[in-house]
A and B are shown apart, each in its own frame.
Chain A
Amino acid sequence: MAKRHRSGPGRIRQAIGYGILCLIALAFLSPLIYMLATSLKPPADVFSIPPTLIGSSIRWSNYSEALTYMPFLKFMGNGLLVAVLGTAVNLIVAALSGYAFSRQRWRGRNLVFMVFLATLMIPQEVLVVPMFVMMQKMDWVNTFQALIIPWAFTALGAFLLRQFFMGVPQELDDAARVDGAGTIKTFLLVMVPLAKPTMAVLAVFSFISYWNSFLWPLIVINDVNDLGTIPLGLQMFFGQQGSQWHLVMAASVISMAPTFVLLVLLQKHLVKGIVTSGLGGR
């Protein structure tokens, strides 16, 4: 691309623009930088004026102290368990239904798919009260399965995988059939492997939405110390130690770390997922 040659003033303007952009990014990050800084300060330096980046000493023990108040590692384990199992269920049912909605013809298919799509319109808030009553009746209040099962069937995955499967050439089915594979074999050995990238996108988003979920765990989990997830644990920690900002910030860093790592590792999938489907959004 042969761009017009930039003249001197143009280049200066560009550099200023870039500088402003960097400043905006820095300002945007300042809450997180401040969090990190505060998490390493001794309590006496937290509210120093002027605000400082580094306190009189670096206090790593804030982290171990925060961990003694609340079992954040356990919360991570709980969150991991809930998110992984929920995501697994969601992937399995969505791969099956996405396939059924795209590559198989059956009576009522389009109608059922419309119903699936319509459920995406329903806000979670409308469901939490009856869901809670259901959990009461099933005796699931304060259990892991209450965190996992109710949200494992969101229709989004069916929609995404249907979109994907519709683009797979029919020749592949035919070839599998020529080789003697039946419907189930074709699905498992041909289609699912092909759908891996889409399933990865779905998995990332499902995982994050489980991991960050707050309202439902707040409602259905009483025993936070045993069954809590990160958001619930942090909220309770904040409720109890709210004035100990150095500890609260350490706990916040701990809470953000796993998703931050996930973001760095999986940025491509995340960006792709958002761009292709508009996933996420709060």
Chain B
Amino acid sequence: MAIQASPGLKRSDAPDPEPDGQKRPAVSVRRRAARKDSGGLGRQTAWGPFFALPHGVGLALFTLLPIGASLWISLHNWPMMGQQKWLGLGNYQHLLADPIFGQVVLNTLLFVVLYVPMNLVVSLGLAAWLTPKIKGRHIFRIIFFIPAITPVVANVVVWRMLYQPGGLIDGLMQSTLGIHAPNFLGDEHWAMFSIVVMSVWQGFGYNMLIFSSALDAVPESLTEAAELDGARPWTVFYRIKLPMISPSIFFATMMTLITSFQVFAQPFIMTKGGPGTSTSTIVLFIYNQGFQFHQLGMASAAAWVLFVIILGITAVQFLGQKKWVHYDA
């Protein structure tokens, strides 16, 4: 949805008959026609590279250089202060053999496997529910979107209190059912699940808006035709709307997957990765290695493992999309 090849980017436009500076009368018909299908190819000037220069230099300096440096650092024993030492793949070997890192990767996968489907189901469900017929639809949308834009740290702190023994959930259970709630964050069987629930609460607003607008764009003629043929609402949703919005679902799945691998603030503030290492995630590991133990080389190596996992999953998604994503609506 966001990243697509623009039409006409590769086309060679009809050559500009006149060089710049020579003024022409109004726009010629031919040029207008050429413009129509060239998708804004623009004008040949010497200025182009200069316009792109500030952004390009910034990106080179603050993204391309660091990404290269990250790989370089990951091949060293690189303490925050003091002498660096070449290790080759030593950090990576260490990580692969480190049971804690293995645990951390599994925890992150567990988070992703729980979080992504829950997020998608909730956001899709609510988007489908909030049809234009619903009164105050706009307000509902805004409500569900609130925690997606308030600071994560603040959201997490609030949920920390909800989950607290004696907090809202425990208090409600005690006063209505007369039993104590589980110690959500202190019990290793509950901790990760609790973090997932909080994260879904916080995060599904984005996808809901994306799905909601995609559903709005499904032509009513299609759904009405199906209804006239006696299709039930569920069938209409499943057979018509869902395939129609599959590009949006694909896009949202990709983005949600990628960002869910980067989960950090929730475990960092709610559990510090505990109890034990049960909620420690890859980014938490990177942070601890780099900025608690000052092992920047090890932190970079872990970051590259994360990057490769994300790239791999993105690639698999792209390859798999043919089976279920319909671009030609």
Interface residues of A (CB under 8 A from B): 18, 21, 24-25, 28-32, 34-35, 38, 47-51, 92-94, 96-97, 99-106, 108-110, 112, 115-117, 119-134, 149-153, 155, 158-159, 162-163, 165-171, 173-174, 177-178, 183-184, 187, 208, 211-212, 214-215, 218-219, 230-232, 234-235, 238, 245, 248-249, 251-252, 255-256, 259-260, 262-264, 267, 270-271, 274-275, 277-278, 280-282
Question: Which residues of chain A are within 8 angstroms of B296 by Cβ–Cβ distance?
Answer: 129, 132-133
Question: Which residues of chain B are within 8 angstroms of A92 by Cβ–Cβ distance?
Answer: 54
| B54 x A93 contact (CB < 8 A) | yes
Min distance, Cβ B317 to any Cβ of chain A, angstroms: 12
* The one of A49, A112, A167, A259 that contacts B56, using a Cβ cutoff of 8 Å: A112
Q: With A28-B201, A231-B153, A280-B206 as given contacts, are A130 and B54 in contact (CB-CB < 8 Å)?
A: no
Q: Is the interface of B mostly helix, strand, loop or mixed?
A: helix
Contact with A along B255-269 (1 / 0, CB 8 A): 110110110110001
Q: How far is the CA of A232 from the CA of B146 in the complex (A)?
A: 20
Query: Most chain-B Cβ atoms within 10 A of its Cβ — which of A38, A96, A158, A248?
Result: A96
Q: Is the interface of A mostly helix, strand, loop or mixed?
A: helix
| B158 x A234 contact (CB < 8 A) | no
Query: Could you tell me how many residues of chain B have their Cβ less than 8 Å away from some Cβ of chain A?
Result: 114
Q: How far is the CA of A144 from the CA of B39 in the complex (A)?
A: 41
Instruction: Name which of B95-103, B160-168, B187-195 contacts chain A.
Output: B160-168
Contact with A along B46-67 (1 / 0, CB 8 A): 1111111111101101111111
Q: With A149-B62, A171-B27, A275-B210 as given contacts, are A133 and B73 in contact (CB-CB < 8 Å)?
A: yes
* The one of B63, B145, B175, B286 that contacts A129, using a Cβ cutoff of 8 Å: B286
| A105 x B48 contact (CB < 8 A) | yes
Question: Which residues of chain A are within 8 angstroms of B29 by Cβ–Cβ distance?
Answer: none
A-B pairs, top 8 by smallest CB distance, nearest first, are A153-B58, A106-B48, A50-B175, A100-B51, A103-B42, A104-B48, A97-B55, A130-B69
Q: How far is the CA of A210 from the CA of B140 in the complex (A)?
A: 26
* The one of B142, B172, B209, B252 that contacts A50, using a Cβ cutoff of 8 Å: B172
Question: Which residues of chain B are within 8 angstroms of A48 by Cβ–Cβ distance?
Answer: 171
* The one of A30, A212, A232 that contacts B168, using a Cβ cutoff of 8 Å: A30
Q: Decide yes or no whether B184 CB sits under 8 A from chain A.
A: no
Q: How far is the CA of A147 from the CA of B161 in the complex (A)?
A: 30
Q: Decide yes or no whether B226 CB sits under 8 A from chain A.
A: no
Q: How far is the CA of A99 from the CA of B63 in the complex (A)?
A: 21
Interface residues of B (CB under 8 A from A): 1-3, 6, 9-10, 23-24, 27, 31-32, 35, 39-56, 58-59, 61-67, 69-70, 73, 78, 126, 129-130, 134-135, 140-155, 157-162, 164, 166-168, 171-172, 174-176, 201-203, 206-207, 209-210, 213, 251-252, 255-256, 258-259, 261-262, 264-265, 269, 282-283, 286-287, 290-291, 296, 299-300, 303-304, 306-307, 310-311, 314
Q: How far is the CA of A112 from the CA of B176 in the complex (A)?
A: 62
Question: Which residues of chain B are within 8 angstroms of A168 by Cβ–Cβ distance?
Answer: 40
Q: How far is the CA of A155 from the CA of B62 in the complex (A)?
A: 11
* The one of A47, A153, A215, A274 that contacts B206, using a Cβ cutoff of 8 Å: A274
Question: Which residues of chain A are within 8 angstroms of B129 by Cβ–Cβ distance?
Answer: 21
Q: How far is the CA of A252 from the CA of B300 in the complex (A)?
A: 33
Q: How far is the CA of A275 from the CA of B152 in the complex (A)?
A: 22
Q: Which residue of B lies closest to A25 (CB)?
A: B143
| B149 x A263 contact (CB < 8 A) | yes
Min distance, Cβ A36 to any Cβ of chain B, angstroms: 10
Question: Which residues of chain A are within 8 angstroms of B174 by Cβ–Cβ distance?
Answer: 49-50
Question: Which residues of chain A are within 8 angstroms of B252 by Cβ–Cβ distance?
Answer: 278
- Apart from A96-B51, A106-B48, A278-B252, list 12 A-B contacts with CB within 8 A: A96-B55, A102-B40, A103-B42, A103-B43, A112-B52, A123-B307, A130-B65, A151-B62, A166-B6, A166-B39, A187-B51, A211-B151
